[in-house]
């Protein structure tokens, strides 16, 4: 057989066969030379064994399998098989991306060097290399209980920074600002609090590198302090504790340290992981040290980005300005955004017309960890939207239109609700090892009792190698929007005991498909957790409306207590049943019917067209005309 015939059979180039011949010591062959049987076996053996083309290749990271094969000088069929051996399924015209090209080349011993073109960046064809990465400024969110001094600290930092740089007054609020120090820069998110932090996370955007948790030294740990800690833990973001108001005579930082230690935030001097600083937002004591610690922590976290990439970032705020048109307050997170770049930002797109920093200075380019006001979008973006530079106007328009279409489709499809039953199913299938729960209760006493029981169940399940419960957050009072957002971020189910849900939270839960389970009896709650862990399916219970009562009169019976004189207009009213209060077509409260009276007597049930007095735990705001809907849980298929 001649070389070119054999090459055809092997699906390689004749040149490749000649090269292989040279390598294995069969000298002097040309395309038309004949090959003896033993030579053919030797060549086949070589190709089979080594599959090496031997020489390094240069890739843009965007080639198809066929193109890579020809660069390597290896038959495409062999490349496809080799890819399959390393777990990549691809056809000849597929682009496998830089990571897989790298894996492929490594698996056959070929050195690959990636050349970065604008196209390869834009097509996602770049393996980020250490040498392209440069340190970037840490992005910090300040969290803590209301009135503990978050705004005062942020203002102090901003003002002292303005003075230090001898800039004019900060002219505009752009959602974040950069503080430039001798040792480096820090970006502070301008709006303190966990609402923005969680809202961003719920949309899939990771904005914050470090959280500064502010605790007032005279008040100590409060509800929102604990909530902030749970949010940080769920997001895996490190915490620096700023014990504030240290200038006050009744400041007691040791109490704060002790309280936080009980929640796993332990000072370094006590052998823990967290840096604690005593500060004052009023006198500025230790604020400089706080900034230095943030920088140090940023360094230790090795926060890096590649300024050579096309810009990427996240929307902090977006609005329509009368003169400027749609404005995006953007935090550039990676790469560089240049004036004139085309971009997509959620369903908005455009060409960067102008960019400004927080002092109103015009910027031509903005690199990693830079907050900017950006003009040029065709419509108003949404906070949390991801922003990225694309190759052309056509691409920008196309991607944004696709996104609009996707949203329309998902709007039509019913939002998938994450239910306890789904999680239970995943436990049975063995795909879920941890059941995440957010627990809200009416009192500390009930919270502790439920927590203890859940921990016991979790412990005994883990001893049997079963799934465990992770109590992501425990809090008091009605279920709030913040609970829902935390549930979205952490994929948790919300359990409530003897509490209500505020109307906004209920709407948000529906939007995000989060299940809220409200219990009246601790026993029921614990049973559900147990069953979920054991993967046991209970007969399915559904909630049905059994009656409706119309509020005709409101009676005040104590300082903070009132009952409603009602007429049962439909079905029946039942004591201890779950109720929802509807006013002007909207749900205003959800809770339990705790008192039901006919004249002066307590009764269990009241039938249609009967008058009765209704009291609802935790609700005193009855208004004439309110409708009280009464719900009971029944086993599916069983009539009440
Ligand atoms: P935020 O709700 O956490 O943003 O709290 P603010 O920054 O609005 O502060 C609440 C109150 O505490 C204001 O009256 C501040 O003046 C006061 N405050 C904040 N920081 C300090 C401090 O370090 N020392 C003292 N004495 N008062 C402070």
d(CA 289, ligand 1 centre) in Å: 19
For residue 148 and ligand 1, the question of a CB distance below 6 A is answered with: yes
d(CA 282, ligand 1 centre) in Å: 7
Report the pLDDT averaged over residues 261-285.
Answer: 90
pLDDT digits (tens, 9 = 90+) for 427-464: 666 667 788 899 998 888 888 889 889 999 998 888 88
**Contacts for 303 with CB less than 8 Å, ≥ 6 apart:** 135, 136, 137, 138, 209, 369
Q: Which of 5-14, 47-56, 249-258 has the lowest mean pLDDT?
A: 47-56
Task: Give strand pairing partners of 336.
Answer: 310
Q: Which residue do the tokens 């932090």 mark?
A: 197
For residue 192 and ligand 1, the question of a CB distance below 6 A is answered with: yes
d(CA 150, ligand 1 centre) in Å: 7
Q: Give the dihedral sign, CA 95/99/100/102.
A: positive
Model confidence at 13, pLDDT cuts 50, 70, 90, reads low
Q: What pLDDT sits at residue 338? A: 96
Query: Higher confidence at residue 31 or residue 144?
Result: 144
Q: Give the dihedral sign, CA 540/546/550/551.
A: negative
For residue 123 and ligand 1, the question of a CB distance below 6 A is answered with: no
Q: What pLDDT sits at residue 622? A: 92
What is the number of the ligand 1 atom nearest to the C-alpha of 280?
23
For residue 107 and ligand 1, the question of a CB distance below 6 A is answered with: no
For residue 333 and ligand 1, the question of a CB distance below 6 A is answered with: no
Is the separation of the CB atoms in 351 and 299 below 8 Å? no
Query: Higher confidence at residue 639 or residue 385?
Result: 385
Which residue CA neighbors atom 19 of ligand 1 most closely?
149
What is the number of the ligand 1 atom nearest to the C-alpha of 283?
23
Q: Which of 373-382, 485-494, 565-574 has the lowest mean pLDDT?
A: 485-494
d(CA 216, ligand 1 centre) in Å: 8
pLDDT digits (tens, 9 = 90+) for 599-622: 888 999 999 999 999 999 888 889
Q: Which residue do the tokens 């559900």 mark?
A: 528
**Contacts for 103 with CB less than 8 Å, ≥ 6 apart:** 86, 88
What is the number of the ligand 1 atom nearest to the C-alpha of 281?
23
d(CA 143, ligand 1 centre) in Å: 13
Q: What are phi and psi of 179, to 5 degrees?
A: -110, 120
Count each helix (H run) and each strand (E run) in the chain, helices first: 18, 32
Q: What pLDDT sits at residue 412? A: 45
Model confidence at 89, pLDDT cuts 50, 70, 90, reads confident
d(CA 95, ligand 1 centre) in Å: 56
Model confidence at 414, pLDDT cuts 50, 70, 90, reads very low
d(CA 249, ligand 1 centre) in Å: 15
For residue 218 and ligand 1, the question of a CB distance below 6 A is answered with: no
For residue 421 and ligand 1, the question of a CB distance below 6 A is answered with: no
d(CA 191, ligand 1 centre) in Å: 15
Q: Tell me if residue 250 falls in helix, strand or coil.
A: coil
- To test the pocket of ligand 1, the residue of 144, 145, 147 to mutate (highest count of ligand atoms within 8 Å of its CB) is 147
Is the separation of the CB atoms in 21 and 43 below 8 Å? yes
For residue 247 and ligand 1, the question of a CB distance below 6 A is answered with: yes
For residue 2 and ligand 1, the question of a CB distance below 6 A is answered with: no
d(CA 513, CA 531): 22
- Alpha helix positions (H), 123-212: 150-165, 194-202
- To test the pocket of ligand 1, the residue of 141, 142, 150, 152 to mutate (highest count of ligand atoms within 8 Å of its CB) is 152
For residue 422 and ligand 1, the question of a CB distance below 6 A is answered with: no
Is pLDDT at 42 greater than 70 in this prediction?
Answer: yes
What is the number of the ligand 1 atom nearest to the C-alpha of 148?
3
Query: Higher confidence at residue 640 or residue 56?
Result: 56
How many alpha carbons fall within 13 Å on the CB side of residue 631?
Answer: 15
d(CA 280, ligand 1 centre) in Å: 9
Q: What pLDDT sits at residue 428? A: 67
Report the pLDDT averaged over residues 140-165.
Answer: 82
Using only C-alpha atoms, the chain has a radius of gyration, in whole angstroms, of: 32
- The angle formed by the CA atoms of residues 228, 230 and 232, to the nearest 5 degrees, is 70
For residue 147 and ligand 1, the question of a CB distance below 6 A is answered with: yes
Report the pLDDT averaged over residues 467-492.
Answer: 85
d(CA 167, ligand 1 centre) in Å: 25
Task: Give strand pairing partners of 387.
Answer: 313, 345
Q: What pLDDT sits at residue 429? A: 67
Q: What is the DSSP letter of 336?
A: B
Which residue CA neighbors atom 24 of ligand 1 most closely?
245
Report the pLDDT averaged over residues 543-548.
Answer: 87
d(CA 153, ligand 1 centre) in Å: 8
Q: Which two three-digit tokens encode residue 60?
A: 């843009």
For residue 225 and ligand 1, the question of a CB distance below 6 A is answered with: no
Q: Which residue do the tokens 């809202």 mark?
A: 199
d(CA 450, CA 617): 20
d(CA 211, ligand 1 centre) in Å: 18
What is the number of the ligand 1 atom nearest to the C-alpha of 244?
23
Q: What are phi and psi of 538, to 5 degrees?
A: -85, 155
d(CA 149, ligand 1 centre) in Å: 4
d(CA 245, ligand 1 centre) in Å: 7
Q: What pLDDT sits at residue 166? A: 41
d(CA 244, ligand 1 centre) in Å: 8
Q: What pLDDT sits at residue 330? A: 95
Task: Out of 11-20, 199-208, 360-369, 396-405, give the one with best mean pLDDT.
Answer: 360-369
For residue 285 and ligand 1, the question of a CB distance below 6 A is answered with: no
User: Across all residues in the chain, what is the average pLDDT?
Assistant: 84
Task: Out of 24-28, 189-193, 247-251, 301-305, give the one with best mean pLDDT.
Answer: 247-251
**What is the share, in percent, of the chain residues with pLDDT greater than 70?**
88
d(CA 155, ligand 1 centre) in Å: 11
For residue 222 and ligand 1, the question of a CB distance below 6 A is answered with: no
Report the pLDDT averaged over residues 460-485.
Answer: 85
Q: Which of 170-174, 439-443, 566-570, 593-597 has the lowest mean pLDDT?
A: 170-174
Which residue CA neighbors atom 10 of ligand 1 most closely?
147
d(CA 262, ligand 1 centre) in Å: 25
d(CA 248, ligand 1 centre) in Å: 11
Report the pLDDT averaged over residues 409-420.
Answer: 54
For residue 286 and ligand 1, the question of a CB distance below 6 A is answered with: no
Which residue CA neighbors atom 14 of ligand 1 most closely?
147
């Amino acid at each position: 057989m001649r070389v070119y015939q054999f090459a055809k059979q092997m699906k390689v180039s004749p040149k490749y066969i000649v090269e292989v011949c040279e390598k294995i010591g069969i000298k002097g062959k040309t395309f038309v030379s004949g090959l003896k049987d033993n030579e053919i076996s030797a060549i086949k053996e070589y190709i089979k064994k080594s599959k090496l083309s031997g020489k390094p290749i240069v890739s843009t990271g965007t080639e198809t399998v066929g193109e890579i094969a020809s660069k390597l000088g290896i038959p495409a069929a062999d490349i496809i098989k080799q890819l399959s051996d390393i777990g990549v399924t691809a056809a000849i015209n597929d682009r496998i991306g830089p990571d897989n090209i790298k894996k492929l080349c490594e698996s056959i011993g070929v050195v690959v060097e990636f050349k970065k073109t604008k196209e390869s960046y834009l097509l996602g064809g770049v393996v980020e290399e250490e040498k392209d990465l440069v340190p970037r400024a840490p992005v910090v969110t300040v969290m803590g209980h209301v009135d503990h001094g978050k705004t005062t600290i942020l203002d102090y930092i901003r003002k002292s920074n303005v003075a230090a740089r001898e800039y004019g007054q900060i002219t505009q609020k752009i959602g974040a600002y950069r503080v430039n120090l001798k040792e480096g820069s820090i970006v502070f998110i301008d709006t303190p609090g966990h609402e923005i932090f969680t809202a961003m996370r719920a949309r899939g955007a990771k904005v914050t590198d470090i959280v500064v948790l502010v605790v007032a030294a005279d008040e100590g740990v409060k509800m929102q302090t604990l909530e902030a800690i749970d949010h940080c833990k769920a997001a895996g973001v490190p915490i620096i504790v700023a014990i504030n108001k240290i200038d006050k005579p009744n400041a007691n930082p040791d109490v704060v340290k002790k309280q936080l230690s009980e929640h796993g935030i332990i000072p370094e001097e006590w052998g823990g992981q967290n840096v604690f600083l005593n500060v004052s937002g009023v006198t500025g004591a230790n604020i400089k040290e706080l900034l230095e610690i943030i920088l140090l922590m940023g360094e230790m976290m090795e926060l890096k980005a590649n300024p050579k990439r096309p810009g990427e970032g996240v929307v902090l705020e977006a609005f329509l300005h009368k003169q400027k048109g749609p404005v995006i307050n953007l935090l550039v997170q990676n790469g560089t955004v240049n004036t004139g770049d085309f971009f997509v930002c959620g369903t908005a797109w455009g060409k960067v017309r102008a960019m400004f920093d927080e002092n109103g200075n015009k910027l031509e380019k903005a690199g990693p960890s830079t907050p900017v006001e950006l003009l040029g979008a065709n419509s108003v973006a949404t906070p949390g939207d991801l922003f990225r530079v694309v190759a052309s106007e056509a691409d920008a328009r196309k991607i944004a239109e696709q996104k609009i279409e996707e949203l329309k489709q998902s709007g039509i499809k019913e939002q998938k609700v994450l239910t306890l039953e789904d999680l239970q199913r995943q436990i049975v299938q063995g795909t879920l090892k941890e059941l995440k729960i957010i627990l809200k209760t009416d009192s500390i006493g009930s919270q502790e009792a439920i927590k203890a029981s859940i921990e016991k169940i979790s412990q005994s399940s883990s001893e049997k190698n079963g799934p465990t419960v992770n109590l992501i957050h425990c809090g008091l009072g009605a279920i709030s929007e913040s609970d829902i957002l935390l549930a979205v971020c952490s994929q948790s189910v919300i359990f409530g005991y003897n509490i209500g849900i505020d109307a906004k939270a209920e709407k948000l839960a529906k939007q995000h498909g989060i299940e809220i389970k409200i219990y009246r009896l601790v026993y029921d709650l614990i049973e559900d957790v147990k069953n979920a862990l054991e993967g046991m399916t209970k007969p399915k219970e559904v909630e049905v409306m059994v009656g409706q009562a119309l509020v005709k009169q409101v009676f005040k019976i104590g300082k903070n207590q009132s009952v409603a004189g009602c007429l049962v207009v439909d079905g029946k009213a039942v004591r201890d049943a779950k109720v929802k209060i509807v006013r002007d077509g909207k749900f205003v409260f959800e809770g339990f019917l705790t008192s039901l009276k006919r004249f002066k007597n307590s009764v269990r049930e009241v039938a249609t067209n009967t008058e009765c007095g209704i009291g609802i735990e935790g609700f005193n705001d009855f208004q004439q005309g309110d409708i009280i809907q009464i719900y009971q849980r029944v086993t599916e298929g069983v009539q009440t």
